Amino acid sequence: MSEEVKKAKTVDPNSAKYMLNKIIEDHYAGLKIAKDNGEKIGWCASNFPQEIYETLGIKVGYPENQAAAIAARGAGAKLCEVSESDGYSNDICAYARISLAYAKLKDVPEQNMPLPDFLLCCNNICNCMIKWYENLSKELNIPLILIDIPFNPDYELSDSEFNYVKAQFLDAIRQLEEITGKKWDNDKFKEVMENSKRASRAWLKATSYTQYEPSPLNGFDLLNHMAVAVCSRGKKESGEAFEQLAKEYEQSVKDGTSTFRAEEKYRILFEGIACWPHLRATSQGLKSRGMNMVGTIYTQAFGFDYEDFDDMIRRYCSVPNAINLELSRDKRIDIIKNTKTQGALVHTNRSCKLWSGFMYEMSRQFGEACHIPVVSFDGDQADPRNFSEAQYDTRVQGLQELIDAGRGGSI
Amino acid sequence: MRTVNEIFEQFGKAAGHPEHMMKQYLKDGKKVVLCAPVYTPEEIIHSMGMVPFGAWGADKEIEGAKRYFPAFICSIMQSILDLGIDGTYDGATAIVIPSLCDSLKVLGENWKYAVPGIPFIPMTYPQNRKTEAGREFTKNSYKRVIKDLEKYSGEKFSMKSLAESNKVYNNHNHAMRRLSDMLPDYDFITPKQRSDIFKSAFFMMKEEHTALVEELMEALEKTETKQNSKIRVITTGIIADNSDLLSILEENNMVVVGDDIANESRQYRVDAPCIEDALDSLVEKFVSMDNCSVLYDMDKKRGDHIVNMAAEKKADGIIILMTKFCDPEEFDYVMLKKAFEKARIPFVTIEVDRQMVNYQQANTIIQTFSDMLN
Ligand code: SF4
Ligand code: SF4
């Protein structure tokens, strides 16, 4: 990687990195301004349909994103302990523990976020979310709107589930109109949908560059950029920033450069949420062996490309944690094939029962189907105490050996 | 006329040896359908002439399930899967798994591969259950269960039989509630005996269980009531059936005067109302359920519900039995704690799981609690 590009990335306001960081900064700043101006703001689950509040012109903050930021900046354990002293078990998802601690402390310099006037919950990623938001609602004494998107045990989405979810989308809009006094506008919805489609397509395009050998990007970059896909998909600027990101990757392919600052000797799928408190250690453990993460389900997770309101609902019913083992497995198989990964490293995430609960079987199946080795390690996305660098290193080493030996199998 | 103790013996047998009960039903030519926690539409299975059989796991060491579940999934799920893998459930026609918590969602997915011989039937409940759309969705999910049951068992469903089964279940609910109210008046009944009544209900046809419960009530009515020196406690949690734990309560002079346990009284609070469409009636039953950690409740009323129960039952204290790795209960815990503190009701928390062998710590906690309440 040339110095020139490195410098450009930190200062060039036209670079994707600058644009993406700015979107997140503006997101948090905009939230604060709205709150200071007396507007009603919400806290929102990462997979709650953002088209709803974006169309209504309502600002929301994302506790999961905030928790990840707090954890990445080293305050995960401190906040988890605050919740634990209130009686929350240390077995509960660390995002929830951090968020509930923040709701109590109300000031955490690692990442502040104005307190909400209402809550928007969607359990398409887990039911833990419902319990977490119930408690926030009770503690903060504010209304909670739940869009319940049940886990779909079938490969296809049934009309029954679709109808149930659609009714809730409409209900949520009505309830939000009541709470905020703002009105739904179909033209505005079309605009938001266009923005979201544009951002999603650009995100999918940018992430598709991991298919190149070598990849023009270190897959860990995506974990940072993802915040925009989570928080600001419905904004015009997000589409522009992801388009710029795709452009940069395209250029890198031409120039033969990459943000993966090592020789790409191995291409792997990383399964699961990042270990935010140990991002450096987990990334370094791979880089030092020339392993680049070129496959991740996040590439698909935030690609919300749809044609109309109904289509959008279907998309929210099919996010990664809402679908059955077979569909989840097939999605991984597609990624593995498209990105030509040689092995999979699976994060058995102590915080996430749903994501880890059938991962052993699912990863065995995609490993066998693609003839690649699968190795797992124990970690946590936000509680630093549930990760051992030594174990991680041994497992990554094991993966490397299995790939070298040209063997499938799992550890 | 059998004595109280003879009747208890029968409850104890069924509760202590579900595998014998299942074998007997199979031997009698009955089809058995496994019912996973927390709320399974047993009435549907019953109405099709099959035996709905509770599958809440067992106190056993986990072996085969380790290949599927990471260690941080609750021991109830771990042991259900393990019993499936080790052949204990062989001969069952299917398993119905409602996906009311994240661990239950993943149980079904693992089951398909770990226990391929027993088909998995998903029962997907809504969390926004009190709306029209929620009701419709519940009904459609029931219909799906019916379709799958017909496919795997070859039996036929009829609304008429469901209406009959709803009545059988309502009668059972009624008997269980009445008995639960009566039991505190007879404080010679041990916590283990009480637990056996509730536990055995999962392994018997409900009409048989109702008859036994009624027989017990009749026998009790002829017995002199006794209630004086014992410490009156209420239990709350998912399960409370471990014999060691129950003997600790007994040794410490405690009597369970009421419970908010998922596989005890939470099952019997609500009846299926008498309405024309028997399936709608079952929907209404589910819709009216409340005060349970796996059912969405923005107002978190469960704490107050238990506080009221404690007042009504004149309880001296509450024992929270926290199933390890059960996040629905772990989240509720903080709210329960606040409600109990506010109401100034003494309580203790004991962490339980199905692999627990050493009850030393539980013993110490209960002893201290009992001293305090005395
Ligand atoms: S990490 Fe898992 S349990 Fe926690 S909020 Fe995300 S999906 Fe839910
Ligand atoms: S409700 Fe709790 S105990 Fe029951 S299956 Fe879910 S996690 Fe396990």
pLDDT digits (tens, 9 = 90+) for A114-125: 999 999 999 999
Contact A164 B293 (CB under 8 A): no
Tokens of A65: 């994103």
Provide the CA A141 distance to its chain's centre, in angstroms. 28
Q: Please give the pLDDT value at position A6.
A: 43
Task: List chain B residues with pLDDT less than 70.
Answer: 227
Residues 147-206 of B with CB under 8 A from A: none
Q: Give dist(CA B49, CA B120) in Å, integer.
A: 19
Nearest to B102 among A138, A160, A354 (CB): A354
**Residue A2 above 60 pLDDT?**
no
pLDDT digits (tens, 9 = 90+) for A299-334: 777 777 788 999 999 999 999 999 999 999 999 999
Burial class (CB within 10 angstroms; exposed 0-12, middle 13-18, buried 19+) of A262: middle
CA dist A405 to A232, A291, A372, A375, B77, Å?
Answer: 44, 15, 11, 14, 37
Q: Give dist(CA A115, CA A103) in Å, integer.
A: 7
* Residue ID of nearest Cα to ligand 1 atom 1: A352
Q: Give dist(CA B84, CA B57) in Å, integer.
A: 10
Nearest to B103 among A168, A357, A359 (CB): A357
Q: Please give the pLDDT value at position B225.
A: 77
Q: Please give the pLDDT value at position B226.
A: 72
Judged by its nearest atom, the ligand closest to the C-alpha of residue A356 is: 1
Q: Give dist(CA B173, CA A294) in Å, integer.
A: 56
Nearest to A131 among B69, B327, B337 (CB): B327
Q: Give dist(CA B98, CA B127) in Å, integer.
A: 12
Q: Please give the pLDDT value at position A7.
A: 44
Judged by its nearest atom, the ligand closest to the C-alpha of residue B76 is: 2
Tokens of B258: 């009421």
Residue A328 contacts by C-beta under 8 Å, 6 or more apart in sequence? A320, A358, A362
Residues A386/A93, Cβ–Cβ less than 8 Å: no
Three-class SS state of B319: strand
Amino acid identity of residue B9, one-letter, is E
Q: Give dist(CA B121, CA B109) in Å, integer.
A: 11
Q: Give dist(CA A293, CA A210) in Å, integer.
A: 8
Beta strand B347-352 with A60-61 is unpaired
Q: Give dist(CA B357, CA A9) in Å, integer.
A: 58
Residue B351 is inside which H or E element, if any?
A: strand B347-352
Angle between helices A3-11 and A16-36 (to 10 degrees): 20
Report yes or no: B99 at the A interface, CB cutoff 8 Å. Answer: yes
Report yes or no: B299 at the A interface, CB cutoff 8 Å. Answer: yes
Q: Please give the pLDDT value at position A403.
A: 96
Q: Please give the pLDDT value at position B357.
A: 77
Residues A244/A14, Cβ–Cβ less than 8 Å: yes
CA dist B151 to A128, A391, B30, B147, B156, Å?
Answer: 33, 47, 16, 6, 9
**Residue A31 above 90 pLDDT?**
yes
Q: List beta partners, residue A367.
A: none
**Residue A5 above 80 pLDDT?**
no
b/e for A323-357, b at 16 or more Cβ within 10 A? bbbeebbebbeebbeebebbbbbbbbbbbbbbbbb
**Residue A9 above 60 pLDDT?**
no
Residues A373/A408, Cβ–Cβ less than 8 Å: yes
Nearest CA to B327 out of A148, A317, A71, A126 is that of A126
Torsions phi, psi for B6 (to 5 deg): -65, -40
Q: Please give the pLDDT value at position A304.
A: 75
Alpha helix (H) residue ranges in A213-352:
220-231, 236-255, 279-287, 298-301, 309-316, 325-339
Tokens of A278: 């140990």
Total number of residues shown for chain B: 374
Torsions phi, psi for B150 (to 5 deg): -60, -40
Q: List beta partners, residue A317.
A: none
Q: Please give the pLDDT value at position A1.
A: 37
CA B352 to centroid of ligand 1, rounded, Å:
24
Higher-confidence position of A407 and A249: A249
Report the 10 Å Cβ neighbour count for B331.
Answer: 25
Three-class SS state of B34: strand
Question: How much is the ipTM here?
Answer: 0.97
Residue A60 contacts by C-beta under 8 Å, 6 or more apart in sequence? A31, A41, A42, A43, A44, A50, A53, A116, A120
Torsions phi, psi for A136 (to 5 deg): -60, -45
**Residue A3 above 60 pLDDT?**
no
**Residue A11 above 70 pLDDT?**
no
Q: Please give the pLDDT value at position A411.
A: 61
Integer-rounded Cα Rg, in Å, for chain A is 21
Residues of chain A with C-beta less than 8 angstroms from the C-beta of B73: 353, 357
Three-class SS state of A114: coil
Integer-rounded Cα Rg, in Å, for chain B is 20
Residues of chain A with C-beta less than 8 angstroms from the C-beta of B106: 353-354, 357-358
b/e for B213-233, b at 16 or more Cβ within 10 A? bebbeebbeeeeeeeeebbbb
Amino acid identity of residue A389, one-letter, is E
Mean pLDDT of all residues in A211-237: 91
Smallest CA–CA distance from A142 into chain B, residue: B298
Residue A308 contacts by C-beta under 8 Å, 6 or more apart in sequence? A193
Contact A134 B298 (CB under 8 A): yes
